[in-house]
Amino acid sequence: MKLQFSPEQNAFRLEVRQWLAANVPKQKLPTYDTKEGFELHRQWEHKLFEAGFSMVMWPKEYGGRGCDLIDWLIFEEEYYGAGAPGRVNQNGQLLLGSTLLDFGTPEQKAHFLPRMASSEDMWAQAWSEPNAGSDMANISSKATLDGEHYIINGQKTWSTRAIYADWAFGLFRSQPGSERHHGLSFLLVPLNTEGVTIRPIKALDGEEAFAEIFFDDVKVPITNRIGDDGKGWHVAMATAGFERGLLLRSPARFQQPARRLIQLYRDNKAAADRDPAIAVAVSKCWSDAEAYALSAYNTVGRVNNGEKIGAESSLNKIFWSELDLLICQTAMDILGATGELLGSAPLAKEHAYWLDAFLFAQAGPIYAGTNEIQRNIVAERVLGLPKK
C-alpha cells in the first residue's frame, strides 16, 4: 500500500491544472439542456478534445490519451476542482464508449470513437421504454431484420438531451417471440433518419432535459449493430458495471460540491450554527465524499490488480446518490428564505448553482437503476438472499 502519487502522476496533474486554469470559461456556460447551452458545451468539448483531454483513458488512436484509471481520477479531481463545464456528451462517451471499446468491430471503433471524443457526434441513450424502467428487460421496441438492415418500430423514453443529439444507442427486440433478456440487439441509430420522431419531456426545472423517441419503420444498416444479433443484453451488461458507474460519477463530482458546501457554511456560520444539525451535516458531507474517493482509489487499485468488481457498484450508486441529496439539502437549509429563488432572481448569488444541483440530485436515487433495485442486487448477489 502506497498512498502517494508518482512524479509522473503529479506532472500529469499539474499539466491538467494549468490547462484548465487557462481555458475554463470564466463565465458559467448556460445549461446544456437548452439549445444554446448545448452548442456552447459542444464547443467546449471540442476544445478539450483538441488539447487531448476529452477522453483521457481511451487509446490515442481513438482520440484519447491512453491514461490509466488513476490518471483519470486525477483528471477528474482537477476538472471538478476547476469548476469546468459539465460533460454534455457523457452518455455516449462514458456509457457507449466502453461498450464500443470492448465489443465494437475495428471499423466501428475507428469510425465512432474519434467522432465521439471530439463531440462531432453527440449521443443520446435509448434504454428505457414506458414499460421498461426499473424492469429493464421488459423491452418491446422491435428491430426486424430485412436483408442488410433492421427496421425499427417502437418507443424509447427518458432519453437525455435527445432533442439535440445526433445519434442514439439502445436495445431492441430483434428476435420475434423472444422474452426478457433474450433476443435483443444493441443498435446505433442516427437520429436524422426518416421515421424518427423526438418529443421533449420537461424536467423538474422546466428544461427539456429528456425526450421520448418514436421509431416508425426506421431503417438502420446491420453494420450499426454492436455484437451479435440477439446478444444485445450481454453486450450492454458486460462492460464492467463498476467502471461504468465510476466513470459516470467520479468522486470529484461530489468532493467539489462538498467543498462548496463547506464554503457556504463558513460564509454563513453565525446563522447556520443556530441549528447544530447543519454543522453535523456539513461535516458528514465532506467525510462521505472523501470516503467515496478513498473507495474509488481502493477499487481502482484492485481492478489494476486484475480483481473482478461486481455488485458492489450497486453500493456505490446508493452511497453517492444519498450523499448528493444530503449535500444539496444542507445547502438549501443554509440558504434559507432565498433558497427557492431561480438563477434569474436579482437576489440569487450561489442560489442557481444549488437549486440546479438540488433538483438534479433528486434524480440520483432513480436513474441508472433505482436505489430499490440496487438494494435488491446487493441483497441477492452480494449477500446471497433469495430472489423471491
Partner 1 sequence: MNFTFTEDELLFRETINRFLATEASPETLRDIWSGDKDAGALLSLIAEQGLSALSVPEEQGGLAMGDVAWSLMTQELGYHAIPDPLVNSAYVATGLLNALDDSVSQKADLLEHICEGDLGFAIGHECSPLVADANTAHTLFMQQDDEIHMLGATDVQTVPNPSIDFSRRLSQITWSAVPKTCIASGEAGKKIWSETFNRGAISVAGQLLGLAQRMLDLSVEYSLQRKQFGREIGSFQAVKHQLADVAGKIEIAKPVLYRAACSLENHHPLSDIHISQARNFCSEAAALAARVGIQVHGAMGYTWEVDLQMYVKRAWALNNTWGDSIMHRARVQDYVLNSDIDLAPSKTFEAV
Residues 299, 307: Cα–Cα separation, whole Å: 9
CB of 273 to a copy of itself, least distance (A): 8
Relative to beta strand 196-201, strand 225-226 is unpaired
* d(C-alpha 376, C-alpha 386), whole Å: 10
Q: Which residue is catalytic, options 36, 243, 322, 380?
A: 243
Are 232 and 181 contacting, i.e. CB atoms less than 8 angstroms apart? Answer: no
Verify binding: residue 306, partner 1, rule CB under 8 A.
Answer: no
Query: From the list 277, 294, 382, 385, which residue makes contact with a copy of itself (rule: CB under 8 A)?
Result: 277
Q: What are φ and ψ of residue 289, in 5° steps?
A: -65, -40
Active site residue 243: yes
- Binding flag, residue 325, partner 1 (CB under 8 A): yes
Q: Restricting to residues 87-146, name those near partner 1 by CB under 8 A.
A: 128, 131, 133-135, 138
Bridge partners (DSSP) listed for residue 221: 149
Least distance in angstroms from the C-beta of 305 to partner 1: 6
Q: Does 265 bind partner 1 (CB under 8 A)?
A: yes
Binding part of the chain for partner 1, among 59-67, 99-107, 235-243, 345-353 by CB under 8 A, reads 345-353
Whether the Cβ atoms of residue 167 and residue 121 lie closer than 8 Å to each other: yes
- Alpha-carbon distances, residue 161 vs 7, 78, 91, 140 (angstroms): 40, 26, 10, 22
Distance (Å) of CA 281 to CA 204, 253, 324: 25, 18, 12
Q: What angle do CA 51, 241, 226 make, to 5 degrees?
A: 75
Size, binding site for a copy of itself by CB under 8 A: 5
Q: Which one of partner 1, a copy of itself, none is in contact with 45 (Cβ closer than 5 to 8 A by kind)? A: none
**Residue ranges in 226-255 that form contacts with partner 1 under rule CB under 8 A:** 251-252, 255
Residue 221 or 336: the one with the smaller Cβ distance to a copy of itself is 336
166 binds partner 1 (CB under 8 A): no
- Looking at 31-39, 168-176, 226-234, 270-278, which segment touches a copy of itself (CB under 8 A)? 270-278
Tell me if residue 195 falls in helix, strand or coil: coil
Restricted to residues 12-51, the positions that interact with partner 1 (CB under 8 A) are 13-14
Active site residues: 243
